[in-house]
Amino acid sequence: MAGENHAVDVLLEALQDLAPEDFLQFKEKLSYPSYKERWNIPQNSLEKAGQACALVNCMKEHCGEDIALEIGTDVFEEMNRRDLADKIQDEKVREYKKKYRAHVIREFLQHEDVNACLGDNLAISSRYTNLTIVMKPRTERKGEQETISLSQTHADTSDQQADTVVSVAQLFQPDEEGQAPRTVLLVGAPGMGKTMTVRKIMVEWAEGGLYTQFDYVFYLNCKEISPTKEVSVVDLISNCCPHRSTPIRKVLDSPQKVLVVIDGLDSLRFSLLQPEDDVSSDPREKKPLETTLMSLFKNILLPEASLMITTRPTALQNLGRCLENVCYAEILGFSAGARNEYFHSFFDTDYKADTAFRFAKGNKNVFAMCFVPIMSWTVCTMLEQELYKKKNLMASSKTTTGMYISYLTRLLKCRAGEGKQDLQQFLCKLCCLAADGMWMHKVLFEEEEIKERGLDQPELLSLFLNENILKKGTDHGNVYSFIHLHLQEFFAAMFYVLEDEKDTGGDSGTYMKDIKVLLENCRTSRKDLLLTVTFLFGLVNGKAIEYMKQRIGCRLLPRFKEVMLRSIQTWPRGILPPGEGTRKIKDLAVFHCLLETYEEDFVQRALNCFTAIDFHDMKLTLYDQTALSFCIRHWNGLASVTFKGCSFKHRDYEEELVPGSASGERQPAEEQPSPIFPLCQALRNTSSQVETLRLLWCGLTEHCCEELAWLLATRPSLRQLELGDNTLGDGGVRLLCKGLRQPSCQLRVLR
């Protein structure tokens, strides 16, 4: 049957079915010199082709198979045999659909990874993780407090959001009235996964698993299209196709079967304000690219075709004016469960993935930003390097600030090579905005303020801020917010150390620029500034300063380092003057600030005036213990350590893993490290002569006693150990006795 043959076979069958006089007429039309400006078939060759098979071979020999089919189709139409022309064309279309889907799979199945070896690519299915996509009205306005809450739990998929969360497969589904959207606008901040999502869509469509209502899905990458070139829709579609024989006419005959994906529209920076009389309804008419796209958006060109447009939020205002029957969808990034899934797709073993995820989850400031896929990639990349060098991430040099710096340089990678001075000035203004916002408890910034500060540079601003479109009738214009509150806190810290040769144009007065005021307010009354201060300590690290300078040309000045050192030395409230009794550290924030500096000399100078740790009623995450362990190892004068009513978390994320998954299975208890392993390891490796250790009401069990016994055997300076109100059991007591019997144990008091 024709449907099972190639198009050439259909041409052959059509010629064989012709009456003799019609066959001669077909040959006669082929004898015209350069038929329709195509290759000429010599007359003597046509005369020799007395049979259908010989004629087809003659046409293929002189014109090639594709041109032969085009010529055959045109001749049949001139002979008023549209039925035969349609048979050939239909078979060509069937063949082409298969070729095109195979081409899409080749083009989109794999993607380059910057960590891969030269020439190596990764299958998109091996790295892609489903994102949280929410359908929401474009004009919805959020209040200040609601925005703060959203920025802190940006990727939450709680029950309240369940009715608005959708999958990619649902984007073109009909609504309750049976109306399917013609246009889907997929919005997301930079690094949120828009391009990876549409690449996954292309592959799944080509494999037959998604959007089966479309015969063709064409992908237009706006970053690869010249914005000044005049093009038609036919040109844009043809550029997506690898074969010369693209059946454009057949494609355009069924526009309802076509989906055009326009990726990264914001990169073209079009105003989209073309006059109505400039648009065109002819798909073959060449117009400026902006006009051609406007004609598509306004349903003037291919009004029955479907569109999917990806863009950053900053392009929404102009785009919204020219779209009709549009569905707005926002990518919110990874949920907590999806972050775990991404880590397991990134690492080659479950052990590495579990170790890295546990470490990231323990650092709430890093984990919160991992809702952004590019931040998850940054964290995984850095932890992969650490795991390659050493197995214990507790000794990792990758601080929270370091991960945010890597995230920043990754976002600015494509722009760091040009205009570094302009970039420095932009960041100065952005940091000033962030700092002012933190001081004034402000996370929403009006459009007028953005312009007054000289921040209205869409290609840079959209990397860090979301644009919120307000309801019609409001007189405040649009408002902006940082994509996450933690990112605003990071830039607020940069405000104090970023070199600025010009006035930033902000409202920050001397009071707000005084780092002493910042540190004092954080210590006494403004605990909401703690993360900003923590980032500040990380930004004065010498390696961080050099890294920022080399990667993106930003100059950081560690001018406040001595002031910051003195602030640590006087941080605990109510301490005794030097030389008058025990000086205790009671605030975990001290250790987090010192960890961020990651400079041994600075840590030693900061801590040597203290002799004790005294923590009460704290829940210590894995990252808390990392900070604590780092400082203990470099603390020369530590004599006493007290934990009362504290808990030591080691595996605190299982409840968020997908039930039943291999990675969600708990390790047997005997394989899990003791919760106090990081603390005991640090005490064994410190240069201090620790004499007293109190672990009271800390929920210790027999599982912890082996570490304590080993500590007794290796720290002869330890004189007093208090373990009251724990459930050690008989087995735990026997383990402690084993440590007490070691010759090196000098313990005098055990309670």
Write the pLDDT tens digit of every residue in 104-156: 998 888 765 544 433 445 566 666 888 889 886 444 444 444 434 444 444 44
Long-range CB pairs of 268-272, under 8 A, 24+ apart, other chains included:
268/222, 268/225, 268/227, 269/227, 269/458, 269/459, 270/227, 270/318, 271/318, 272/297, 272/318, 272/319, 272/321, 272/322
Task: Give the tokens for residue 141.
Answer: 């306005």
Tens digit of pLDDT for each residue in 691-718?
999 999 998 888 889 889 898 988 889 8
Residue 603 and residue 547 share a domain: no
Residue 472: the pLDDT is 41
The sign of the torsion formed by the CA atoms of 622, 624, 625, 629 equals positive
Residue 310: the pLDDT is 92
Range with top average pLDDT, 123-137, 285-299, 468-482:
285-299
Residue 256 and residue 137 share a domain: yes
Residue 582 and residue 516 share a domain: no
The sign of the torsion formed by the CA atoms of 622, 623, 626, 628 equals negative
Residues 329-343: what's their mean pLDDT?
A: 89
**Which residue carries 């208090």 as its tokens?**
722
Is pLDDT above 90 for 459? no
Q: 470 or 306: which carries more pLDDT confidence?
A: 306
CA dihedral 693, 699, 701, 703 (to 10 degrees): -80
- Give whole-number Cα distances, 263 to 117, 155, 322, 596, in Å: 27, 23, 17, 38
Residue 202: the pLDDT is 94
Tens digit of pLDDT for each residue in 398-444?
788 988 888 888 888 755 445 667 788 888 899 999 999 998 888 88
Residue finishing a domain among 548, 570, 592: 570
Q: Does 167 fall in a domain? A: yes
Is pLDDT above 70 for 626? yes
Burial class (CB in 10 A: 0-12, 13-18, 19+), 604: middle
pLDDT band per the 50, 70, 90 thresholds, residue 50: confident
Rounded CA separation 19/10 (Å): 16
Residue 508: the pLDDT is 47
Residues 723-747: what's their mean pLDDT?
A: 88
- Measured CA angle at 255 (ends 254, 258), to 5 deg: 110
Give me the CATH number covering residue 664.
3.80.10.10
Residue 275 and residue 132 share a domain: yes
Give me the CATH number covering residue 35.
1.10.533.10
Give me the CATH number covering residue 298.
3.40.50.300
Residue 263: the pLDDT is 93
Tens digit of pLDDT for each residue in 384-397?
887 776 656 655 66
Rounded CA separation 413/423 (Å): 12
**Number of domains, the chain:** 5
pLDDT band per the 50, 70, 90 thresholds, residue 652: very low
Tens digit of pLDDT for each residue in 170-219?
999 887 777 888 999 998 888 888 988 999 999 999 999 999 999 999 99
pLDDT band per the 50, 70, 90 thresholds, residue 161: very low
Rounded CA separation 372/483 (Å): 9
Residue 213 and residue 167 share a domain: yes
Residue 200 and residue 326 share a domain: yes
Residue 654: the pLDDT is 37
pLDDT band per the 50, 70, 90 thresholds, residue 317: low
- Measured CA angle at 346 (ends 341, 352), to 5 deg: 90
Residue 128 and residue 231 share a domain: yes
Rounded CA separation 490/535 (Å): 6
Q: How far does CA 492 lie from the centroid of its chain?
A: 22
Is pLDDT above 70 for 608? yes
Residue finishing a domain among 539, 570, 601: 570
Q: Does 148 fall in a domain? A: yes
pLDDT band per the 50, 70, 90 thresholds, residue 159: very low
pLDDT band per the 50, 70, 90 thresholds, residue 518: confident
Range with top average pLDDT, 337-341, 395-399, 544-548, 675-679:
337-341
Q: Does 165 fall in a domain? A: yes
Residue 154 and residue 218 share a domain: yes
The sign of the torsion formed by the CA atoms of 722, 724, 726, 728 equals positive
Is pLDDT above 50 for 657? no
Residue 416: the pLDDT is 45
Residue 556 and residue 505 share a domain: yes
Tens digit of pLDDT for each residue in 523-533?
887 888 889 99
Residue 667: the pLDDT is 42
Residue finishing a domain among 570, 601, 622: 570
Q: Does 245 fall in a domain? A: yes
Q: Does 102 fall in a domain? A: no
Residues 3-15: what's their mean pLDDT?
A: 77
Q: Does 410 fall in a domain? A: no
- Give the H/E segment covering residue 362: helix 350-362
- Measured CA angle at 494 (ends 490, 500), to 5 deg: 155
Residue 704 and residue 599 share a domain: yes
**Residue type present at position 84:** L
Residue 396: the pLDDT is 60
Residues 504-515: what's their mean pLDDT?
A: 53
Residue 169 and residue 261 share a domain: yes
* Length reported for the chain: 751
Residue 561 and residue 441 share a domain: yes
Q: 365 or 661: which carries more pLDDT confidence?
A: 365
Residues 661-670: what's their mean pLDDT?
A: 39
Strand ranges (E), 9-125: 110-112, 121-123
Residues 4-27: what's their mean pLDDT?
A: 84
515, 496 in Cβ contact below 8 A?
yes
Residues 361-367: what's their mean pLDDT?
A: 83
Domain limits for position 42: 2-94
Q: Does 464 fall in a domain? A: no
Task: Give the tokens for residue 241.
Answer: 């196709």
pLDDT band per the 50, 70, 90 thresholds, residue 643: very high
**Which strands, in side-by-side order, build the sheet including 258-263?**
165-166, 132-135, 326-333, 183-187, 306-311, 258-263, 216-221
Q: Does 406 fall in a domain? A: no
Residue 327: the pLDDT is 86
